[in-house]
Structure 1
Amino acid sequence: MKAAFLTATGAPEAIQYGDVPDPQIDGDQVLIRTHTMSVNPIDTYVRSGVVAMDLPWPYFPGCDAAGVVEAIGANVKRFAVGDRVWTTNQGLLGRQGTFAEKIAVDEKWVFGLPDAVSFEDAAACALVGITAHLGLFREAQLQPGETVLVIGGSGGVGSMVVQMAAASGARVIATAGSDEKAEKVRGFGAEEVILYKTQSIAEQVRQFSERGVNVVWETRREPDFATAVDVMAERGRMVLMAGRDAQPPFPVGPFYVKECSLHGFVMFKATPFEMRAAAEELSRMMATGKVKANIGASFTLAEAAQAHALQESATLGQSDRLCGKIIVTSNPES
């Protein structure tokens, strides 16, 4: 089969494309013929070695994929050959990644894909959708009628947070870097959009919500705790899922006087039970149109290195070239 793979960590150009042996499944695994994969910032960190993990060699990058079951192990109960499925949380903690025409995945990380949802949408929504669901409902325990501020509402995770929060009955305020991105964010369900390059986030939030916001979702690599605490309502919650090396100052006094709470989490540490509960709800939301994919660019599997370069330019270089998720398509007919 064809795959995009690494024989050592490095720059995007370290990704090779070529023939590799087909994977062999064990009793608990599902063999998936992939149709679509996606690229996440964590993929670039693992590929480059910035985030050190035990990796199988050759290593296929990628956490997400959607495709069709081609074979099942003897112990697999939930799936049959021919089922449409999607997966996430691969390529991490010693697991093989998804950038190949066929992948062997433990059943606990595989989820059914409704007929109404395309492979492209499922792959694009996978990791970011699970992240949004865990952060909003497991961590922040968002309730209908509350107000959410999403910093970075047009990005991969941010667009999922906006849509899920709006679908749950929350009022959503989000930031965007341009008029074009602001229009997209409004389409995701944000009632108000702040153009952060020319407008003060704190001042605009006060105009939109005098009592402040109940949840602040931060997507930037350098969190702004001063602004977050300033705009949070009493007992506000702040969610962090980025900024691995960040060490910004923190306004302790205003934070505890307001009885606020801070929730840091990484999606790939969720238990299989937590992951499956969030995944099944995400599948329902995609099937009913409550959540839609935010696809910003598409590449073929042979172009995996270019896909990684684009993701890296957006994540580390703060480039405006990307608005949404990068998807990568294989050749399911080969």
Structure 2
Amino acid sequence: MKAVQIKEFGGPEVLKTVEVDEPFPNENEVKVKVHAVGLNPNESYTITGTYAYNIPELPYIPGYDATGIIEEIGSNVEGFQIGDRIFLSAFSADRNTGTYAEKVVVDAENVFRLPDNVSLIKGAALGIPAFTAYKALFQKAKIKAGEIVLIHGASGAVGNWLVQMATAIGAIVIGTSSTKKGRNLILDLGADHAIDHVTQQNKDKLLSLTNEQGPDIIIEMLANKNLKTDMQIIQRHGRIIIVGSRETIEVDPRNLMTNEAIVTGMTFTSPNEKEMKELTFGLHAFLESGAIHPFIGNKFTLDEPIKAYKNLMESSGNGRTIFVVSEE
């Protein structure tokens, strides 16, 4: 089968399209014919060999998220049948042979039914970004209808899910993007307001949209750049949820003391069984009701891994970058 593989650590240039043997499932695993693959920024870190969450053995086929059709089922697997339409998110899987391939084997517990109203191509927007968005809003921020939520990077792969979910439950949504195209998309997704990224120079714009009170909730995608300002504009008793950061930062905790605000970090890595059940049921309910919709950005084939990775790291506010492996 065709796959994208690395035999050494490095940048995008180490990604090679090769032919490899097909994997086969053990008793608690399923084999999936892949239709589309959603790319994640952390996969670009993994191939460098410096990502603490996952330093793989080589050779290695990257990829955590995909959609496809079940081809084989392990003897202990229940609840699935050959031919089922599924999406998978295998970041925490004990076995994941890599989704950048025509076939993948993964633990059955990391496989989820794809709602009938979501295509196999559009379903590639699910997985880590959608689960991350749900966890940030509902399990960490505990968002309520009528609250004001500021979403940094609201047109990106995680951000667009955040906008749609927060809008769906009646929150007042303010999204940021550095481009006019991104801000237009944020409004199209249902946000009440779309503005440029909030900085020390333009934070008055954000405050004017919140009756000078600031947002109840801030979902932060790049804490090393924005957290200082977040702590100044958050409403009293507000919640800042950090989803991403790339560097260390020095902040003044007195801002949090003054506002009696809370800063919470999170990642979607190893949710417990109760958390995963809520994530799965909640996401399915949103999708099946039509309240939220997958948003796909640029599409590539398995023969274009370097091009896909450059797009993944350089594009801003363009939906999710995917590999299309097999058309429906």
Letter in 2 for 1:32: V
**Partners in 1 of 2:232 and 2:72 — Cα distance?**
54
Deviation at 1:272, TM superposition (A): 4.6
What is the alpha-carbon root mean square deviation over aligned residues?
A: 2.1
Aligned to 1:216: 218
Q: Distance in 2 between matches of 1:148 and 1:35?
A: 35
The alignment covers a number of residue pairs equal to 326
Quick check: 1:326 aligned with 2:328? Answer: no
Q: Which position in structure 2 is the counterpart of 1:58?
A: 59
For 2:204, give the aligned amino acid: E
Which residue of structure 1 aligns with residue 78 of structure 2? 77
What residue is the counterpart of 1:43 in the other structure? 43
2 CA distance for matches of 1:57 and 1:93? 17
Superposed CA deviations along residues 209-234 of structure 1, whole A, max 9, x for unmatched, are 12221110111262422321222111
1:176: how far off? 1.4
| Deviation by residue 1:234-283 (Cα, 9 ceiling, x = unmatched) | 11000112114x22222211202322111111111323542343133223
* Cα 1:149–1:326 shift into 2, 3 Å: same
* Amino acid in structure 1 at the alignment position of 2:219: W
- The answer for the alignment partner of 2:172 in structure 1 is 171
Show the 5 A alignment for 1:264-283: 264-283=265-284
Q: Contact 2:5–2:15 at 8 Å: present in 1 too?
A: yes
Cα distance in structure 2, aligned partners of 1:201 and 1:92: 43
Instruction: Give how far 1:60 is off.
Output: 1.2
8 Å Cα contact 2:36-2:67 kept in structure 1: yes
Structure 2 partner of 1:243? 245
Alignment partner, residue 6 of structure 1? 6
> 1:317: which partner in 2?
none
8 Å Cα contact 1:54/1:93 also seen in 2 = no
Q: 1:237 to 1:134 in 2, by over 3 A?
A: same
| Cα deviations by residue, 1:48-106 (Å, 9 ceiling, x for unpaired) | 22304242443111110000111111111121111100011348787432111111111
1:17-32 alignment, distance < 5 Å: 17-32=17-32
Partner of 1:108: 109
Q: Percent identity?
A: 30
Q: Which moved more, 1:262-271 or 1:188-197?
A: 188-197
Q: Does 1:98 align with 2:108?
A: no
CA distance 1:262–1:197, change in 2 (3 Å): closer
Contact 2:160-2:186 within 8 A present in 1 as well:
yes
Structure 1 runs not aligned, ≥5 long = 315-319
Asked if 1:34 is matched to 2:34, the reply is yes
| TM-score, normalisation: structure 2 | 0.93
Distance in 1 separating the partners of 2:251 and 2:261 = 13
Distance in 1, matches of 2:51 and 2:137, equals: 25
Segments of structure 2 that go 5 or more residues without pairing to the other structure are: none
Partner of residue 228 from structure 1, selected from 227, 230, 243: 230
